[in-house]
Amino acid sequence: MTTDNTGIPDEVAIRIMDFLDGEMSDEERSAFEADLTRDPELQRSLEALQSTMGVVQSLQMKFAPDDFVREVESKVRTRSRGRFFGYQALYTSRIPYEVFAVVAIAIMAGMWMMSSPDDARFSADLAMVSDQADAGPAGAPDAGASRNPDGAGAQADGAGAQAAGAGLPTPPSVRPLKTEVIEYTFTLPADAGADDLDKLAVRLGATSRRYVVERSKGELDVTVPAASLDGFLRDFGQGYTLERKTVTAPDGGGDVAKVRFRSP
Amino acid sequence: MTSRQEKRLIRRLKQRDEQAFLTIVTRYQHKVYNVVYRMLGDPHEAEDLAQEVFITVLKNIDSFRGESQFSTWLTRIAINHSKNRLKFLKRRAADRMQPIEDTPEGAMMFNPLGSALPRPDNQAMGHQLERAMQNALGALDPEHREVVVLRDIENLSYQEIGDITGLTAGTVKSRLFRARSALKEELSKQYDD
């Protein structure tokens, strides 16, 4: 049992509070009112408490200053430096890094494009040669046979994209490497004669000294610097059927591609 | 604001939605400020502390599990901050050898009326009473002050006060009785002077 300088025990204090709060049953209330009439000191205490309660409850509400919300917002931002809120973080921390990343990617892409103009041309040339190989000359075997002259056949057909590339010139991913030799074999049209190879040899020799031309019976082998391969294919690869292409890595293989033109 | 709206608001706040936070600050600013002001008795301290209350809400919103009403949780933070600030002010005054009367709390405790109280011919009686009551509140110890503020100023139920203070309803009632008795004594002293 607790008392203080009022000398009133907890039980009595709770009864008084219940009476003031109207939380007594009728019986309890009647009993308490009887106690009040018998005890003038209790009566005075009760009245004093009631008046005190009245004064406290009459206190006006104190309102926060007008700029309170703004001040809180400012304090949060200052302390968190934008970490508390999503969009704050977006604008204060993420965006600069994202912008930096985009700019860096753009610069790298630009540098790559400027440094490999031949690659783009090479790809275009290959596509052109590929189209010709697919279409084939008049009277040539059907497209499927043309794509799979080595009988890569069903295996290649089932391999989807790989199959499509089986009879095509080197895709960009296997563009000439310094240790590889790329070999192309073109078959001249069926109505071409032996002198067509001679003419081609003359034409090649007249065009550039960079091409090493070797004439043998029914064949014309040309060694082309790999860097010039795309231009070569553009200038001389048109009108012929691409019969075979292999990529090898011979010992001492260098920066060259070998192209063979063969009579039908 | 309905309970559902409030829950949605709190969910957004947990997702660090600034607009939700500002809505909560706007909605509860006066309630928090009033509680803190009545506990501290100084408008500048009250403003600063009320701001801290909302920052605490933001930092700890993830720990609010909705077992009590949000306003109850918020008031508990405000009361705890106030009691801590009162302790701090008292300790600071002691460390600095500063007369406790010079602190906001001390001004209320030791100079309930005195020269700080405006002269009756200059101020309305209501203002005097308000000042006297605030000074009397400041003279109570923090445990008594909190139950008076929560019950008589914030009109909370005994259950809500119990949730905030961790006391049983019976203890809240008896403590409130003694707090009111002490308040009555303080007011009597002031007017007797």
Name the residue with higher pLDDT: A146 or A209: A209
What is the radius of gyration, based on Cα positions, of chain B? 18
Give the tens place of pLDDT for each residue, B55-94: 999 999 999 988 889 999 999 999 999 999 999 988 887 7
Same domain, A137 and A244: yes
What are the φ/ψ torsions at residue A59 (nearest 5 degrees)? -60, 135
Residue A208 is assigned to a structural domain of this protein: yes
Which residues in chain A are contacts of B48 at CB distance < 8 A? Answer: none
Is residue B33 helix, strand or coil?
Answer: helix
Query: In chain B, where does the domain assigned CATH 1.10.10.10 lie?
Result: 113-193
Same domain, A122 and A103: no
pLDDT at residue B167 tops 60 = yes
Question: B1-110, which class in CATH?
Answer: mainly alpha
For the domain B113-193, what is the CATH code? Answer: 1.10.10.10
Supply the mean pLDDT for chain A: 70
Q: Which residues span the domain enclosing A108? A: 84-115
Residue among A14, A62, A84 with most chain B CBs within 10 A, to mutate: A62
Query: In chain B, where does the domain assigned CATH 1.10.1740.10 lie?
Result: 1-110
Same domain, A138 and A25: no
Q: How confident is the model at residue B54 (pLDDT cuts 50, 70, 90)?
A: very high
**CA-closest candidate to residue B35, choices B142, B187, B118:** B142
Number of domains chain A is built from:
3
Given an 8 Å threshold on Cβ–Cβ distance, is A55 in contact with B33? no
Given an 8 Å threshold on Cβ–Cβ distance, is A84 in contact with B26? no
Which residues in chain A are contacts of B17 at CB distance < 8 A? Answer: 85-86
Which of these three, A115, A134, A156, is where a domain ends?
A115
Name the residue with higher pLDDT: B79 or B95: B79
Supply the mean pLDDT for chain B: 84
**CA-closest candidate to residue A183, choices A215, A229, A152:** A229
Q: How confident is the model at residue A187 (pLDDT cuts 50, 70, 90)?
A: confident
Per-residue confidence (pLDDT) for residue A211, from 0 to 100: 77
Residue A76 is assigned to a structural domain of this protein: no
pLDDT at residue A129 tops 60 = no
Percent of chain A surpassing pLDDT 70: 60
Per-residue confidence (pLDDT) for residue B104, from 0 to 100: 52
Given an 8 Å threshold on Cβ–Cβ distance, is A68 in contact with B176? no
Is residue A241 helix, strand or coil?
Answer: strand
Residue A71 is assigned to a structural domain of this protein: no
- Tokens representing residue A249 in the block: 């890595």
Per-residue confidence (pLDDT) for residue A207, from 0 to 100: 66
pLDDT at residue A140 tops 50 = no
Return the H-helix or E-strand segment holding A182: strand A181-187
Name the residue with higher pLDDT: A154 or B71: B71
pLDDT at residue B110 tops 50 = no
Per-residue confidence (pLDDT) for residue A123, from 0 to 100: 53
**Alpha-helical runs (H) found in B41-168:** 43-60, 70-95, 104-110, 125-139, 142-148, 158-165
Q: Which of A53, A86, A87 sits opposite B180 (nearest CB)?
A: A53
**Whether ipTM exceeds 0.85:** no
Give the tens place of pLDDT for each residue, B143-161: 999 999 999 999 999 999 9
Given an 8 Å threshold on Cβ–Cβ distance, is B47 in contact with A4? no
Same domain, A145 and A177: yes
Out of A17-31, A200-214, B7-21, B39-53, which region has the weakest mean confidence (pLDDT)?
A: A200-214
Give the tens place of pLDDT for each residue, A53-94: 888 888 888 999 999 999 999 888 888 776 666 554 445 455
Q: Which of B153, B174, B176 sits opposite A2 (nearest CB)?
A: B174
Which residues in chain B are contacts of A6 at CB distance < 8 A? Answer: 178, 181
Q: How confident is the model at residue A245 (pLDDT cuts 50, 70, 90)?
A: low
Q: How confident is the model at residue A246 (pLDDT cuts 50, 70, 90)?
A: low
Question: For chain B, how many residues are written?
Answer: 193
Q: How far apart are CA A170 and CA A122, in angstroms?
A: 10
Per-residue confidence (pLDDT) for residue B97, from 0 to 100: 61
**CA-closest candidate to residue A237, choices A167, A188, A182:** A188
Same domain, A258 and A138: yes
Residue among B174, B189, B190 with most chain A CBs within 10 A, to mutate: B174
